[in-house]
């Protein structure tokens, strides 16, 4: 996607249409999910942020390996361990 001089978004491929639809469907769901997690489930803002990033990275990692044919590297495994540690640190009892 790119923006034209008039301010309109120009789609350059069908993938841009898919990306735009995903963003339009994803954004309205984030605020209610954060509100429910903060108010009803009792998570802190930091806990919600870490969990959201872990979920996002897991989904993107699978997408990159399956759709983009990105090979699994040792660095990715170490990064996954770091994410598990981040979750364990943020959820441990203070």
Residues 81 and 49 in one domain: yes
Task: Output the pLDDT for position 27.
Answer: 66
Query: Range of 32's domain?
Result: 1-41
Residues 16 and 27 in one domain: yes
Please indicate, yes or no, whether residues 35 and 66 belong to a single structural domain of this protein.
no
Its pTM stands at: 0.59
35 and 1 both lie in a single domain: yes
The per-residue pLDDT for range 19-57, each reduced to its tens digit, is 777 767 666 666 666 666 667 777 788 888 888 888 888
User: Per residue, what are the HEC states of 61-78?
Assistant: HHHHHHCCCCCCCHHHHH
Q: Which of 24, 44, 20 is nearest to 34 (CA)?
A: 44
pLDDT tens per residue, range 62-78:
888 888 888 988 998 89
User: Cα(57)–Cα(5) distance, rounded to whole angstroms?
Assistant: 34
């Amino acid at each position: 996607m790119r923006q034209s001089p008039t301010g309109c978004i120009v789609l350059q491929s069908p993938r841009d249409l898919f990306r735009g639809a995903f963003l339009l469907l994803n954004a309205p769901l984030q605020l209610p999910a954060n509100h429910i997690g903060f108010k009803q489930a009792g998570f802190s803002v930091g806990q919600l942020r870490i969990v959201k990033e872990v979920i996002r990275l897991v989904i993107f990692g699978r997408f990159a390996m399956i759709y983009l044919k990105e090979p699994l590297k040792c660095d990715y495994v170490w990064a996954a361990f770091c994410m598990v540690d981040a979750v364990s640190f943020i959820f441990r009892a203070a």
